[in-house]
Amino acid sequence: MTEPVELDALDLAALISSRLCHDVISPVGAIVNGLEVLEEEKDPQMREFAIDLVRKSAQQASARLQFARLAFGAAGSAGAMIDVADAEQVAHGFIKDSKAELEWSAPRVLLPKNKVKLLLNLVVIAHTTIPRGGLMKVSVEGNEPDTLIRIVTTGQMARVPAGVQDLISGQPHEDRIDAHVIQPFYTGLVARASNMDVEMSVDEGSVTIIASPSAAPAAA
């Protein structure tokens, strides 16, 4: 088996930062546009439209930042435990304005920080498997250290984006790792740090993602 590619810590931090900025730049830009309209417009209808734009965009930016803080941030010390209910809350916020629906089935338990990060990053990947919308079912099963994460998506043209499984395994897609593909690559890093294996399978109209305990030693 090919060994996973290793990125320099500074390069990894830069690529993740670029990805996070990309995720929030759209709603932040919409807030700026709405404020500009409020400064210039006198028409009541246009001002109401601008206020609504600012309100919705601020909510979207807040939801994405809260999700990123848990999915990518430190969220406590190295040995921190995180409530799965917190993950559910930010996951709902993350997909709220998309075409997907989320069904969450998980006990309210504390899990190691990296497993919660893995869960949320798998939600991001699962969301990309149903580009035209659909249903995402997330479940967390078993007890530590044998916790299993299962996500099943169903929708029109459900598929695994090219290269995602390789990236999770630590292999570059088309010989490159950049900000566009850093999220699944990072997901693989978190999976190995959590001593979890991630497998994806495709059936007609559905994709299944399972993260289960690995027999190999956890990555440093």
CATH of the domain at 99: 3.30.565.10
Q: What is the pLDDT of residue 218?
A: 56
For residues 155 and 100, give the distance between their C-alpha atoms in angstroms, rounded to a whole number: 9
**179 lies in a domain?**
yes
Is 185:126 a contact under the CB 8 Å cutoff?
Answer: no
Question: Is 80 exceeded by the pLDDT of residue 75?
Answer: no
**122 lies in a domain?**
yes
* Distance (Å) of CA 41 to CA 29, 36, 50, 58, 113: 18, 8, 9, 20, 47
Q: What is the pLDDT of residue 172?
A: 85
Q: Which ranges in 74-203 belong to alpha helices (H)? A: 84-95, 113-128, 164-168, 182-193
> How many domains does the chain divide into?
1
Q: What is the mean pLDDT of residues 11-38?
A: 93
**What is the percent of the chain with per-residue pLDDT over 90, rounded to a whole number?**
73
Going by DSSP bridges, is the β-strand pair 196-203/148-154 parallel, antiparallel, or unpaired?
unpaired
Question: Is 60 exceeded by the pLDDT of residue 108?
Answer: yes
Q: What is the pLDDT of residue 1?
A: 56
Cis peptide before 4 (omega within 30 of 0): no
* pTM of the complete model: 0.90
**28 lies in a domain?**
no
What is the domain range of residue 133?
9-22+77-213
Q: Which two tokens stand for residue 113?
A: 């920080």
**134 lies in a domain?**
yes
**35 lies in a domain?**
no
Q: What is the mean pLDDT of residues 44-65?
A: 92
**Average pLDDT, rounded, for the chain:** 90
Q: With cut-offs at 50, 70 and 90, classify the pLDDT of residue 64.
A: very high
**16 lies in a domain?**
yes
**3 lies in a domain?**
no
**46 lies in a domain?**
no
Query: Directed axis angle between helix 84-95 and helix 44-71, to 10°?
Result: 140
For residues 102 and 88, give the distance between their C-alpha atoms in angstroms, rounded to a whole number: 10
